[in-house]
Amino acid sequence: MEKSTVFNNKLLPYCLLFPQLVITIVFFYWPASQAVWQSFLREDAFGLVSEFVGLENYQTLFLSPAYYAAMLTTVVFSISVGALSLSIALLFATQADKNLKAAGPYKTFLIWPYAVAPAVAGVLWFFMFQPSLGMLSRPLRGMGIDWNPLLNGTHAMILVVMASVWKQISYNFLFFLAGLQAIPKSVIEAGAIDGAGPMRRFWTIVFPLLSPTTFFLLVVNIVYVFFDTFGIIDAVTGGGPAGATTTMVYKVFADGRLGGDLGGSAAQSVILMVIVIALTAIQFRYVERKVQY
Amino acid sequence: MVEHRPLSDFIAYAILTLGVLIVAFPVYLALIASTHDAATVVGGHMPATPGSQTLENYYRAIFVGGSRTSREPVANMLINSFISAIGIAVGKIFISILSAYAVVYFRFPFRKTAFWIIFITLMLPVEVRIYPTYKVVADLKMLDTYAGLILPLIASATGTLLFRQFFMTVPDELLEASRIDGAGPFRFFWDTLLPLSVTTMAALFVIQFIYGWNQYLWPLLITTQDSMQTIVIGIKKMLVATDELAEWQLAMATAVLAMVPPVAVVIFMQRLFVRGLVQTEK
């Protein structure tokens, strides 16, 4: 789509673009290219000497069990958070879509966690499940579970997943509700006339018609789990215990911290960039077309 | 709806009420914890009702800060958070409305290139290029400054795409009419386009304010002085610094204070918020 009437100024458009282009190049393209360049270098701990080592950083990475562990953690974490937050949000959205009288206030009270910072959400959940003072740790211990997310990797993962799901439900709920409300009522009525009950109507009519929203949310949730949960993980577990909650993004941060392994950290950044670009490309190329409208 | 069954409505209310309770519970506990004294909270037997230390806890959190390590009072962190959140929101609106205007209303060489240069930034959040960006900001001597907190986070394409989309829906007749009246690009932008864009700007402001307020990794890296901390990283530092002896009642009071501005924005500007969210993401 293009405008048919435009202004003819020669210099003005460049002036208008200037602020954004400068900021984008200085804070985006320059650092991104530095990350790529750095991933081929090995720097000593003081950052004084750096030496070109080719693909060595990548080689080291793919030979290190810790990196595969981080990949596995990322997969487990993503699938758990994505599946739980999407299905819970869909449940709430279908209920709120029932023409209830009080649907408005319920909607408001379900969407506000979107505004809570991930790190704050992490602190809140950690407070509830802190082994010695957490309000919910005591009942767990009462049931005979030796609950301790500070020492037990599985418990730590469960806690991080719960906090991330809690934070993400509101977003998914909002989009599912909008998607549900966009489905024409006549289609559902036609199904009812043919004798389909509420469950049957949901799975054969509503759910397929909702697929564009679902696929959109799938991609957004993957990006959320990758990047926005950083604050939650750092606040709740700091990647531990023993790396049990170190995702790939967290590892980029942890490995480069205090000038540690900058080359390795940069190589991981590059791999992440490739993954995110691939995901976005998939979203644009395939999802839009193959989904039923 | 098709059929109206009382039972189905009842189930819906039950599920939604349960949902609201689960969503509210962690925040309720934080509120309660912020009204008790340290011993009650740390003892692990905190009652489920408010205590009597509310004023004292919030007073200490806001104006004094924690006692065990020398820390900043929260009032200062709140100011930092406000400045950077508003700076990010306003900065993004400013640079993106100008660039969208250029891309939509002008024809010039490299127009497509410029658009793509901006568009690609959509895909890569700051987290994946965190250390190189840190180095750039350090080289520019912007560590521990508001410019360092704000500028790297406004380099993104969301705003430009949103305004471009909106400008496309503005009828061409408006531009033709303004040109007949002798208006140049500045007049048209100022008198016609800007007033039409107010709602879009407001929606973008709401979303970006929340985004800026909730930033964590970036401020954590580039602020070394306590006086430049934002409130979100302030809470985390309260808990790390003293470990077991953390002053949870103060941390929870701080957490509540950190939640109030963005949550208030979502609740009181819900229409703008929903609009902004749906438009920037889709």
Residue B125, min C-alpha distance to chain A (Å): 8
User: Cis link prior to A241 (omega < 30° from 0)?
Assistant: yes
If one compares A259 and B136, the residue with the highest pLDDT of the two is: B136
Q: Answer whether B233's CB lies under 8 Å from B220's CB.
A: yes
What is the Cα–Cα distance from B133 to B127, expressed in whole angstroms? 10
pLDDT, tens digit (0-9, with 9 covering 90-100), for B236-267: 877 765 455 667 888 888 889 899 999 998 88
The nearest alpha carbon in chain A to B213 belongs to A117
Rounded (to 5) percent helix, strand, coil in chain A: 75, 0, 25
The nearest alpha carbon in chain A to B17 belongs to A106
CB within 8 Å: A120 and B282: no
Task: Find the CB nearest B129 among A31, A92, A115.
Answer: A31
CB within 8 Å: B130 and A170: no
Which of B106, B165, B249 best probes binding to A when mutated, by most A CB atoms within 10 angstroms?
Answer: B106
Give me B205's structure tokens: 């402001």
Q: Answer whether A156's CB lies under 8 Å from A244's CB.
A: yes
**Above 70 in pLDDT, residue A287?**
no
- Chain A residues within an 8 Å CB radius of B3: 192
Is A237 at the interface with chain B, CB within 8 A? no
Q: What mean pLDDT, rounded, does chain A reach? A: 84
What DSSP assignment string belongs to B230-262? -HHHHHHHHHHHHGGG--HHHHHHHHHHHHHHH
pLDDT grade for B142, boundaries at 50, 70 and 90:
confident
Task: Find the CB nearest A120 among B105, B129, B258.
Answer: B258
CB within 8 Å: B248 and A119: no
pLDDT, tens digit (0-9, with 9 covering 90-100), for B71-124: 678 888 899 999 999 999 999 999 999 999 999 999 888 888 888 888 877 767
CB within 8 Å: B124 and A273: yes
Residue A159, min C-alpha distance to chain B (Å): 13
Cβ contacts of A138 within 8 Å, gap of 6 or more: B44
pLDDT, residue B99, reads 92
CB within 8 Å: A14 and B102: yes
**C-alpha separations of B144 from A23, B64, B88, B134, B136 in Å:** 19, 22, 16, 12, 13
- Chain B residues within an 8 Å CB radius of A10: 108
CB within 8 Å: A119 and B233: yes
Mean pLDDT, range B138-159, rounded to an integer: 87
Task: Find the CB nearest B125 among A125, A227, A262.
Answer: A227
CB within 8 Å: A280 and B122: yes
The nearest alpha carbon in chain B to A257 belongs to B131
Mean pLDDT, range B3-30, rounded to an integer: 85
pLDDT, tens digit (0-9, with 9 covering 90-100), for A140-168: 877 877 788 888 888 899 999 999 999 99
pLDDT, tens digit (0-9, with 9 covering 90-100), for A228-257: 888 899 888 887 787 888 888 888 888 877
Q: Answer whether B149's CB lies under 8 Å from B84's CB.
A: yes
ipTM over 0.90: no
Q: Answer whether A148's CB lies under 8 Å from A134's CB.
A: no
Task: Find the CB nearest B185 among A7, A38, A262.
Answer: A7
- Global pTM reads 0.88
Q: Which domains does chain A have, with CATH numbers?
A: 65-290 (1.10.3720.10)
Closest C-alpha among A38, A31, A34 to residue A52:
A38
Between positions 68 and 87 of A, the ones with CB within 8 A of B are: none
